[in-house]
Amino acid sequence: QSVLTQPPSVSAAPGQKVTISCSGSSSNIGNNYVSWYQQLPGTAPKLLIYENNKRPSAIPDRFSGSKSGTSATLGITGLQAGDEADYYCGAWDDSLSAVVFGGGTELTVL
């Protein structure tokens, strides 16, 4: 049971847009920054979004992040077959004094 809640799976057609939600509480998302990671099959996670909505320089602007209250959202536009992966959100939790992650969302590009 993950502290942050993500949908197990999402899907969309190539070229379309998809959003992935991440729900938490005041002790984590509500009071701290959210980050997002992409994990392609058999590889290590890769940072997509940090501090709620910032992108590392190598990440295309098709990927975006937002936060409102105790929830965060990852958006991906112009879906490509190469975007098929697991996506995780993460944040610091003040009550647990630990980094917590969502359970992960599997993205399928139809």
Partner 1 sequence: QVQLVQSGAEVKKPGASVKVSCKASGYTFTNYDINWVRQATGQGLEWMGWMNPNSGNTGSAQKFQGRVTMTRDTSISTAYMELSSLRSEDTAVYYCARAPITVAGPPLAWFDPWGQGTLVTVSS
Interface contacts to partner 1, rule CB under 8 A? 2, 31-33, 35, 37, 44-47, 50-51, 56, 88, 90-92, 94, 96-104
Q: Please say which residue, 13 or 97, places its beta carbon nearer to partner 1.
A: 97
DSSP state of 5: B
Q: How far is the CB of 91 from partner 1 (least distance, A)?
A: 6
Q: How far is the CB of 52 from partner 1 (least distance, A)?
A: 10
Q: Do 70 and 25 contact (CB within 8 A), yes or no?
A: yes
Q: Please say which residue, 46 or 62, places its beta carbon nearer to partner 1.
A: 46
Please give the C-alpha separations between residue 102 and each of 32, 84, 108, in angstroms, as whole numbers. 15, 18, 18
Q: Please say which residue, 13 or 44, places its beta carbon nearer to partner 1.
A: 44
* Residues 6 or more apart in contact with residue 85 via CB below 8 angstroms: 38, 39, 40, 41, 106, 107
Q: How far is the CB of 23 from partner 1 (least distance, A)?
A: 15
Longest dimension (CA), the chain: 40
